[in-house]
Structure 1
């Protein structure tokens, strides 16, 4: 754990030395440009670093993170990242990755107020409302929370599918594939929710562009 910012700088020196020894050409390759095959939309939680939990090298994954891995259609930061990933970098796969123990999801399950954050949490609450009947039939609160996290990931997969420029890409071919995963902090394992899409077939007709 870094107690001061200077420890982060020292950590960087150690990382550079170790990386240079294990992968001598990595920095030269990175300097030439990035060619990631994956876009990762994950939670901002510090315990879920995309490259580390997938054992990937720098340059492998283009990353966008926010509280509770949400895809909000008025979030122009996220929209710009996704657009650049598919239009300029031509990523083949988009991964929405939630995680058990997500603070944003826990907040959305409560009636507590968190000030400014409430305006973001309302998007998560909207997912709860969609699946309220299923969720409230689960008596165990931990199990309910886990199911909510899974359903939230699936809804964000669907939200990416509703983007007009994603549908433009699908008219040209099969990519990108959009996948829903969950990370289990307790054991470090990723779980595939088997919710993968690369067409608009699963969408209500009102969300399909000509």
Structure 2
């Protein structure tokens, strides 16, 4: 059986199980989505967002990309953020990275000339490395550097979120959302919180928007 055929069969089995347990499940789910959480995670196939937190369909609005980044020129990520914050009115935004991330590991190496688009994406992680070069190079092994850069990248993405007009305006108007930086362990399946920024958290003035803009 081909992989895609197995997926289709598993889908039918999953849907039947849901209806058996709750006959109105899909009718209720199709009515409206009211997630309380925006999840920004890595595209890595080993880190399925809903599964690792045991969330049901409808509980989280999910965006995933290589190395869980929030880049200011990426309209895809920013449109997801704006929709989640301004339309869905989520109370929490979670950026969840994971240890032994392939994107982070690749960013610590020289650029691959055959991966032009990937290079452009990973450049932002290289910038995080540059900011923390001394700390990272003081670590004794490549794995230690990868794990620490995973953490630093998550923290940087939380500040990237706080630096957007979308988050600053929501903080001012509605005192939400809280920003959470998490990291997931592939070896044990446990999530660790690295940073938490509640509404109104202090940010560097050069990233603040004026009253008219926010």
TM-score normalised by the chain length of structure 2: 0.93
Partners of 2:184 and 2:169 in 1: how far apart? 30
Superposed displacement of residue 67, structure 1? 0.3
Tell me the SS of whatever aligns to 1:42: strand
In structure 2, what is the equivalent of residue 91 of structure 1?
Answer: 90
For structure 1, the residue ranges without an aligned partner over 5 or more in a row are none
- How many residues in Structure 1 have an aligned counterpart in Structure 2? 208
Deviation at 1:203, TM superposition (A): 2.1
Q: Report the equivalent of 1:111.
A: 110
> Secondary structure, in 3 states, of the residue corresponding to 2:85?
helix
Structure 2 residues not aligned, in runs of 5+: none
Moved more, 71-80 or 25-34: 25-34
* Root mean square deviation, CA, Å: 1.3
Could you list the structure 1 runs, at least 4 aligned residues long, displaced by more than 3 angstroms after superposition.
199-202
Give TM-score, length-normalised by structure 1.
0.95
Q: Do residues 171 (structure 1) and 172 (structure 2) align?
A: yes
CA–CA distance in structure 1, aligned partners of residues 51 and 20 of structure 2: 18
Q: Distance in 1 between matches of 2:23 and 2:188?
A: 32
Deviations along 1:15-54, whole A, 9 cap, x unmatched? 0011122333321111101000000000011111111111
| Residue matched to 2:71 | 72
Alpha-carbon separation, structure 2, partners of 1:24 and 1:196: 39
CA contact (8 A) 2:176 2:199 kept: no
Kept in 2: contact 1:161–1:200 (CA 8 A): no
SS in 2 for 1:146: helix
